[in-house]
Amino acid sequence: MYLASVLSLALPLILTSTSASPISTRQTNSDGSSCSDTSFNNFQWQASNFDFHATYTFSTPAHQNSWGYASFDLLNPADQSTVSCSATSSQLNDFFYGWTQYSCNDTLRGGSTKFDFNRPTSELRVEQSWTCRDQDPQYPVTFTAKGSANLTLGCSEDFYQNANWTMGEIYSRRTVTCGKVDAVVVPYEISAIA
């Protein structure tokens, strides 16, 4: 009798401790595909709100202080993360030439995201790593991919020159403003390590 009552109390505890964890490791996207499925099949990033603008300011006819700015958000459809990317440059005259990589804000997602931009050709290049844990949680798959997009930027320019310039005033200012654009970034290289 005593043994039967101990077993009736202990059996639910034993079953509970040996059952599967209620925490799901399956990363499923809104279309029902998993993180790994999306990564292995027709993977493409979505760049949104790409913004380029620049200011060329002369404080004197011979002294220039000029900057270019680029920013956008990048959606990874596999792990459903969005990172913000931005950069500033003072490399005259186009500021971005595609030879400097800039890091994006990956603090919330882990992994790594970098980009470069070539203003003369309007090419955006992205390099990103991400991890999928939906195949086997003990052996997650880490992907690294590189991709590019050719952006079509519609830009306008404004120019101001101070005809009555004196020292301490702005001599001239030229601003370039481009409308924000969205683009699909297609990978040209992708690798996976388990």
Fold of 33-193: AOC barrel-like (2.40.350)
* 144 SS3 class: strand
What is the average pLDDT across 62-73? 94
pTM: predicted TM-score of the whole model, two decimal places: 0.80
Quote the tokens at residue 52.
């380029």
Q: Do the Cβ atoms of 82 and 75 come closer than 8 Å?
A: yes
User: What's the pLDDT at 116?
Assistant: 98
- pLDDT band for position 110 (cuts 50, 70, 90): confident
At residue 153, what is the residue type?
L
Residue spans of the domains in the chain: they are 33-193
Cis? peptide before 41, omega within 30° of 0 = no
Rounded CA-CA distance 43/176 in Å is 33
Q: Is the pLDDT of residue 28 over 70?
A: no
The CA–CA distances, whole Å, from 49 to 54, 61, 157, 169 equal 16, 35, 20, 34
Rounded CA-CA distance 54/64 in Å is 13
What is the average pLDDT across 79-105? 94
Rounded CA-CA distance 97/122 in Å is 9
pLDDT tens, position by position, 138-177: 899 999 999 999 999 999 999 999 999 999 999 999 999 9
Rounded CA-CA distance 98/186 in Å is 17
Q: Do the Cβ atoms of 159 and 47 come closer than 8 Å?
A: no
Alpha helices in the chain (DSSP H): 2-18, 35-40
**CA nearest to 140, candidates 27, 21, 22:** 27
β pairing state of 123-132 and 172-178: unpaired
Rounded CA-CA distance 35/114 in Å is 21
